């Protein structure tokens, strides 16, 4: 099943929130890029390199573009310091233990690079469950597999422990979603 129009609209809202934090001509790694790695494609010529990692993508899709079939919870098959930005758009809520993925994100960032994350508030889960049953939200969005949300202050503490500097945390879409940007010291 493909993404629905609602899935694409919600993704576009996340993309729009994250894009101002992506520098032109940057190297971007999208952890949990999803089918089609749409954020990287949306950025297009604005970036110099875009690589997506996701367990959902097929081998054929990976061969057609810069996508790696990978379970991001088991380490990243990328050398250290390779990217200017690591994005995790609607990924955090799928991680039972996010610290390992966040440590790997830090490892693959170049000095001065940033981690750009979005995630929905837990209050949207009941609505997503109904929308999924009605076919408004596709199974590929895995809204039925959301984990406990890490409270923002706990997440900021976790990121500081990893050595990130948290610069931005705000909500968007009527406070239903969060955006966080953290930097690796240069």
> Facing residues of 87 across strands?
30, 116
**Looking at residue 141, what is its pLDDT?**
66
Share of the chain above pLDDT 70, in %: 94
**Looking at residue 1, what is its pLDDT?**
53
Supply φ then ψ for residue 107, to 5 degrees. Answer: -60, -40
CA 28 to chain centre: 11
Average pLDDT over residues 164-169: 96
Element (H, E) at 179: strand 177-184
Query: pTM to 2 decimals?
Result: 0.92
How far apart (Å, rounded) are the C-alpha atoms in residues 97 and 36? 25
**Looking at residue 145, what is its pLDDT?**
80
Mean of pLDDT over the chain? 90
Average pLDDT over residues 13-19: 96
Q: Which residue has the higher pLDDT, 60 or 13?
A: 13
28-67: pLDDT as tens digits:
999 999 878 889 999 999 999 999 999 887 655 545 468 8
């Amino acid at each position: 099943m493909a993404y629905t129009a609602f899935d694409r609209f919600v993704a576009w809202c996340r993309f729009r929130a994250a894009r101002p934090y992506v520098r032109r001509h940057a190297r971007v790694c999208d952890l949990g890029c999803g089918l089609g790695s749409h954020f990287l494609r949306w950025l297009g010529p604005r970036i110099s390199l875009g690589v997506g990692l996701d367990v959902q993508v097929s081998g054929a899709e990976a061969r057609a573009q810069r996508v790696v079939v990978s379970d991001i919870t088991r380490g990243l098959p990328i050398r250290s310091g390779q990217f200017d930005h690591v994005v995790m758009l609607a990924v955090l809520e799928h991680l039972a233990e996010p610290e390992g993925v966040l440590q790997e994100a830090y490892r693959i960032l170049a000095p001065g690079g940033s981690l750009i994350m979005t995630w929905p508030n837990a209050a949207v889960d009941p609505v997503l469950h109904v929308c999924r049953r009605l076919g408004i939200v596709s199974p590929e969005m895995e809204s039925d597999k959301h984990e406990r949300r890490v409270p923002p202050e706990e997440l900021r503490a976790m990121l500081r422990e990893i050595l990130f500097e948290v610069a931005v945390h705000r909500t968007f879409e009527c406070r239903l979603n969060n955006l966080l940007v953290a930097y690796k010291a240069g």
